[in-house]
Chain A
Amino acid sequence: MKKIIFILLSLIAISLQVDASDADFFNLDEAKLSTEMYELNQLEEMILSNGYNQSFFDFTSTNISSMPFSGLNLNDASNPTILPPFIWGCIGGPIGIAIVYVLSDQDSKATMRSFWGCLLGSCVYGSFGGGLFSTY
């Protein structure tokens, strides 16, 4: 009995593997995306309706958190990773940087720092120019 169950499970696993294709990499969970972006979408809509000067908005009533940017040295030209996310947003992102990495053998270390900075910058550093709180 156990053998039969094992064989059946194996067959299911194999069939699932066969069914998985490269197209599955392009799946996007729209519901999750909407949930994650709900507050930001609301804020964006409010700004579009009322203009950019939104200092009256009570951020403390939301789950939108502050950005930990204070420890960074803006004048540190040796670190190419620290760019505002809105710059990364318009350029190729990590994929674009990977392409540059392959194209520019001479400066690959700097390119890779940018690569990880682009990937992690928004999570670790926050933004200099793009945060929700204009407290600086």
Chain B
Amino acid sequence: MHKSIKIGAIFLLLPLFSISQEFIRIKAAYSIKIKTSTGISQLSMGNIFYDKNIDKIVYENKYPREEIWVTKDTISYKLLGGGVVNTIQNINMNKLTVFYLALSGNLNDFGLTNSKFSIEKVEKDKGLVITTWLPPTEYRKLIHKILISNKNGQLSGIVMIDSEEKVISKQFFRKYIIANGLLFPTEIVQISYSTEGKENYQITTFRDIQVNDFKKDFMYDYPITY
């Protein structure tokens, strides 16, 4: 009798444990530093809020000036003083942010498993597991292939190569931490190459990462009002 009660209690408690393991929202302070081959340097700092169920990315930009940017579906909104002052038509990329991919557990392959890309080969080289992904044939004139490297089971780099075998862009995901059980990179280094082969650098740094913070509902679902 006692045994059956224990088993029953375990079954009742199981959903609670599984809920605690689900990652829904993330908040982080960000710094984005850009240095271009043309000599331009830029720095942006602020906080970012993302709830994968609401699917709004809310940027509370603090530096160099305070403003809110919200990306929802295919539109990015710029808000000042609580109201929209500008909208920009965009493409819907929220599902390809480091936030969504990390929260949903798909960061390791950058979500390519669920795409039209196919694996050409997987190799182990110099401590990296490198997967070569090919786009559908009709797209290979532009994107020849994407290489994704994993180190110790974590996404470490992505390289995009064009049809002339030239590198278009590299991204490195580094300095992983575990925040409330979620593995998350606190530094993303991106190098994009101009047509002349010159390098443009961008480093995105995340600090003060909070996962499943349910205190600031307002920021995660920032109202888009005119």
A residues in contact (CB < 8 Å) with B:
21-23, 25-26, 28, 33, 36-37, 39-41, 43-44, 47, 52, 54, 63-65, 67-68, 74-75, 77-80, 82-104, 107, 110-112, 114, 119-120, 122-124, 126-134
Contacts and interface: CB of A to CB of B under 8 A. Distances in A.
B91 interface: yes
Nearest to B125: A23
Contact of B40 (A43, A74, A98, A123): A123
A23 B42 contact: no
Interface in B132-190: 132, 135-136, 139, 142-143, 146-147, 149, 156-161, 167-172, 188-190
B152 to A, nearest CB: 14
Nearest to A22: B130
Q: Which of B36, B39, B91 has the most CB of A within 10 A?
A: B91
B110 A22 contact: no
11 contacts: A23-B125, A25-B167, A26-B147, A36-B35, A40-B34, A82-B88, A86-B30, A87-B57, A92-B97, A92-B98, A94-B160
A87 B111 CA distance: 19
B146 A98 contact: yes
B117 A99 contact: yes
Given A80-B90, A95-B171, A120-B194, A129 B125 contact: no
Given A41-B33, A83-B76, A131-B64, A90 B91 contact: no
A67 B40 CA distance: 7
Given A90-B59, A95-B160, A102-B139, A77 B42 contact: no
Given A98-B146, A102-B135, A119-B169, A91 B97 contact: yes
A97 B97 CA distance: 10
A63 B130 CA distance: 38
Contacts of B204: 89-90
A79 B35 CA distance: 24
A28 B57 contact: no
A75 B76 CA distance: 12
B123 interface: yes
Contacts of A104: 91
